[in-house]
């Protein structure tokens, strides 16, 4: 099992975030270290478009590959590296900006894919704990069917709590505020993916779909093309570092852990 960590230098909200310091180490080095701790991972490769990131990883004793600067997504960057890997490889996409990613979460997603021959890929989700998070368009929601496969992804709140909202004049927000246990019906999608190598290469050659472009969610392309995506429910949250507030929060956690 090979973990590939896409790590581009440019970032709209937090430029150069992969190299920002957290507890004396660059952010990307923390992510690399966490991925390497997963029992299912035999190799970790950082795929980057910037020599500064590549040099930092190599100085830390890790493996890094310089990839094209023209990729539209992390999956495309993964596919460039995966082209040279063995055909039967299982590829784990670990987001570079998640320095606190749990090794156990990685293992859970890997195990879900390899134990399900029908699945093309696996991903993870975690509980939504507040109305603010449910309404936040940066928190992607996933609906999972009874068989454990993804039915839909969206930045909008879903599924709709119809009966509960009717109790409050059709207002779902008030329903959730008055009955917070309703939050247990919602799941936040997290950015960890596990692919069979052949499916990853096939997926990245598919044209973008209208829904994908509309919501800016590439997993919708997979669903629209018939992919079976196994979804694993996990309880250990990670923090994607997209803003200075995220960065400071991670710094406090790392400092508290010593």
Tens digits of per-residue pLDDT, 189-235?
Answer: 988 999 999 999 999 999 999 999 999 999 999 999 999 999 999 98
Report all structural domains of the chain as residue ranges with CATH numbers, in order of start: 1-97+240-258 (3.90.550.10), 102-237 (3.90.550.10)
10-residue block means of pLDDT along the chain (258 residues)? 90 85 94 95 93 94 89 84 91 93 95 95 94 91 96 94 92 92 93 93 94 94 96 87 89 88
Model pTM? 0.89
Sign of CA dihedral 118, 122, 126, 127: negative
C-alpha span between 208 and 216 (Å, rounded) = 10
CB contact set of 152 (below 8 Å; sequence gap of 6+): 142, 143, 158, 223
Tens digits of per-residue pLDDT, 163-186?
Answer: 999 999 999 999 999 999 999 999
Contact (Cβ atoms closer than 8 angstroms) between residue 253 and residue 236: no
């Amino acid at each position: 099992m090979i973990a590939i960590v896409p790590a581009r230098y440019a970032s709209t909200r937090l430029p150069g975030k992969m190299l920002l310091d957290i507890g004396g180490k660059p952010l990307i080095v923390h992510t690399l270290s966490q991925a390497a701790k997963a029992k299912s991972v035999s190799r970790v490769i950082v795929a980057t478009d910037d020599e500064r990131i590549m040099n930092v990883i190599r100085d830390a004793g890790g493996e890094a590959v310089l990839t094209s600067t023209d990729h539209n997504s992390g999956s495309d960057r993964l596919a460039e590296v995966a082209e040279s890997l063995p055909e039967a490889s299982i590829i784990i996409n670990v987001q570079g900006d998640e320095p606190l990613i749990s090794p156990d979460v990685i293992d859970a997603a890997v195990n879900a894919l390899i134990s399900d021959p029908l699945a093309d890929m696996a991903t993870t989700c975690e509980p939504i704990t507040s109305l603010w998070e449910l309404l936040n368009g940066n928190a992607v929601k996933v609906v999972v069917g009874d068989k454990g496969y993804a039915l839909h992804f969206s930045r909008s709140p879903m599924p709709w709590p119809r009966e509960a909202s009717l109790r409050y004049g059709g207002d779902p927000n008030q329903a959730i505020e008055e009955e917070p246990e309703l939050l247990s019906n919602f799941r936040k999608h997290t950015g960890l993916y596990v692919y069979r190598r052949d499916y990853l290469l096939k997926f990245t050659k598919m044209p973008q779909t209208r829904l994908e472009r509309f919501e800016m969610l590439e997993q919708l392309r997979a669903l629209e093309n018939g992919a079976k995506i196994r979804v694993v429910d996990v309880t250990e949250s990670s923090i994607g570092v997209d803003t200075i507030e995220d960065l400071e929060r991670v710094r406090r956690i790392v400092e508290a852990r010593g």
